[in-house]
Amino acid sequence: MLIAQMSDLHVTSDGRDVCGVVPTNAMTERAVAALLRLSPRPDLVIVSGDLTEHGHPEDYAALATLLAPLPMPVYAVPGNHDRREARRAAVDHAGFLPQQGPLNFTIDAVPMRSVVLDSLGEDRSHCALLPATLAYLDSALS
């Protein structure tokens, strides 16, 4: 099992450089192209950290477009720049996200199990594990 991880993409809907200097959308395109050149290719991709810069629905549409060339399953968990409901509505193609609450999920990819935890603290610069997330972790590890 080969797993690739990408982190802190900070995708924007308009493709503008973040803080006027970081071409995050172009960097995401290059990362996707690099994954596609790997031999063997990863069996799945986990995207963590800030998926988008602002957490707007149109940012998630841009994210989906940038990740669309990847033929393998892509699992994404939000960072503090993201918004749960916009993320849930826009990118849940595979149906792995819960319908409400924290965006915790488990990837059962033989021979391993990955437990992905949502530590998003919306409207805060720091993150924390909510009681519901800790309960999810306990259940997933059981």
Neighbours of 88 (CB within 10 A): 17
For the chain, give the percent of residues with pLDDT over 70.
93
Q: Tell whether the model's pLDDT for residue 125 goes beyond 70.
A: no
pLDDT digit string (tens) for 58-111?
A: 999 999 999 999 999 998 888 877 888 787 777 655 567 777 788 888 988 878
Whether the CA torsion 42, 47, 51, 56 is positive or negative: it is positive
Residues in the chain, total: 142
DSSP assignments along 98-138, one per residue? -SSSS--EEEEETTEEEEE-----TTSSS----HHHHHHHH
Q: For residue 76, count CB atoms less than 10 angstroms from its CB and return exposed for 0-12, middle for 13-18, buried for 19 or more.
A: buried
